[in-house]
Homo-oligomer: A and B are copies of this chain.
Amino acid sequence: MNLSFTEENYIKAIYHLSDAGNKAVNTNTIADEMNTAAASVSDMIRKLSDKDMIVYKKYHGVNISDQGKSVALQVIRKHRLWEVFLVEKLNFHWDEVHDVAEQLEHIRSPLLIKRLDDFLEHPKIDPHGDPIPDENGNISIGPQYPLLDMKIGTNGVITAVENSTSKFLKHLDNKGIRLGIKFVIKDHDEFDDSMQLELETGESIFLSKQVSENLLVRQI
Contacts and interface: CB of A to CB of B under 8 A. Distances in A.
A152 interface: no
A103 B96 contact: no
Interface residues of A, number: 19
Chain copies in the assembly? 2
A116 B89 CA distance: 9
A90 B107 CA distance: 15
A83 to B, nearest CB: 12
A141 to B, nearest CB: 25
Interface string A10-35: 00000000000000000000000000
Contacts of A112: 86, 90, 100
Contacts of A107: 100, 103-104, 107
Interface string A121-159: 000000000000000000000000000000000000000
B115 A91 contact: yes
Contacts of A103: 107-109
Interface in A159-207: none
Q: Which of A92, A108, A112 has the most CB of B within 10 A?
A: A112
Interface string A101-118: 001100111011001101
B108 A96 contact: no
A116 B104 contact: no
Interface of A: 86, 89-92, 96, 99-100, 103-104, 107-109, 111-112, 115-116, 118-119
